[in-house]
Amino acid sequence: MTITPSPEKPVVHIVGLGSMGSILAMDLLEFTDAEVVPLFRNEQKLKSFQIGHGSKLSTKRVYLSDSPVETKQIQRSYCPSNYSGEHIKNLVVTTKTYQTTDALRPFLPYIDSETNLILIQNGLGVLESLSEGLFSDGVLSRPNLFQGVIAHGAFQESDFMFNYTCLADMKIARISWNGAEGLVQPSKIVVEDALNNELIRLLTQPAFSKEFVVKHMTYQEMLIGQLYKFLVNSCINSISAIVDCRNGEIIDNAKPVFSLIVKESLTILKLAYAPLFQYEQNYNGKEAFPFLKVDETFEFEPLVDTIFYLTCVLGEQSSTSMREDTKHFRDTEIDYINGYVVSLAEKLGLGSDAVNVNRLVVELVNLRAGLNKRRANQIPV
């Protein structure tokens, strides 16, 4: 029997039912009136979810003592070959960065300018891939675009069972298809979207917002957090993957290499995102715009110290997603992290020497990934 949604009930389609997509889906089902509809990339994945696991998602909040396993039943789920054909109004994308274009392409006929699309991912560069690829034919077909920067911690214990390890927050903002050119927004855009946009209304509903710690803000406010997290990932994700270790194992020697990565990356980011780094002198003190401390946030030495503390001290027992990808012979997101800095330098017309550190990091991650695959296949020397 086909289940059709009530016209009054908001529907949220989710592409990428991994750790972040699953904890988000669970809380949407618990704390809003939305229906959550996962979209899988192929029939095999769909059958695994529907038949192998009874269309159920489970999470355990391990950051709370004696927390029970929570399970939710999903009413509808699809893959490209059996999609219902309904228009997609609200779309959450939590795939790996490099999977985004291929994951969205089969559903393009059901996405238009009335669609609200939010990207919740690591790395940078997906916007460029979408605007130059899937949505290159102009603004009429482009959805309303939002970005989410999620700081919660979670990992997969088994298929469709996830451990929710850390409660932090999720920052969300409307973003411009024009990238850095549309970076600065007046504060009123936050108010307007909270009132008029269905997806943002859902994500900022008091019960859900409190539980998931949602912070709705302007693009420039969110970008500070996004670039900060990007720099954290550019240090710990890549280096832990290269040397194949938990974060705390490099505590004695990590800071010098972190310094090299941050120094070079900041130089490029300040050029590529010039409106953000010039924001204080151009917009602070103007009533229509939020007051930001950009310079203080990205002051070099305190930034490196904080990245080191967050990753190697507080996160000493953690194993990064990039390290886990290389260990399990999966593709990594390196092209959207350190590799993104390299591509920015090329677009800016800078010489190759401008990104020697990040280029080397990219090659070393690829070297580690290839080495692990070779060893697993027992290829003789």
Please identify every residue annotated as catalytic: 229
Q: In terms of residues, how long is the chain?
A: 381
Contact 278, 294 (CB under 8 A): no
φ, ψ dihedrals at 94, nearest 5°: -125, 25
Which 8-state DSSP code applies to residue 251?
A: T
Sign of torsion over alpha carbons 329, 105, 18, 203:
positive
Tokens, residue 59: 């999470």
Contact 175, 131 (CB under 8 A): no
Using alpha carbons, select from 130, 125, 126, 128 the residue that is nearest to residue 108: 130
Sign of torsion over alpha carbons 81, 141, 18, 129:
positive
Contact 142, 135 (CB under 8 A): yes
**Any long-range contacts for 222-227 (C-beta under 8 Å, 24+ apart)?**
222/147, 222/149, 222/171, 222/172, 222/173, 222/175, 223/173, 223/183, 223/273, 223/276, 224/276, 224/292, 224/294, 224/297, 225/149, 225/171, 226/124, 226/147, 226/149, 226/171, 227/269, 227/273, 227/276, 227/298
What is the spatial distance between Cα 172 and Cα 203, in angstroms, rounded to a whole number? 9
Using alpha carbons, select from 103, 150, 96, 102 the residue that is nearest to residue 125: 96
What is the spatial distance between Cα 339 and Cα 350, in angstroms, rounded to a whole number? 15
Tokens, residue 136: 């290159």
What is the spatial distance between Cα 120 and Cα 364, in angstroms, rounded to a whole number? 27
What is the spatial distance between Cα 119 and Cα 328, in angstroms, rounded to a whole number? 25
What is the spatial distance between Cα 89 and Cα 35, in angstroms, rounded to a whole number? 12
The strand pairing partners of 147, in sequence order, are 119, 173
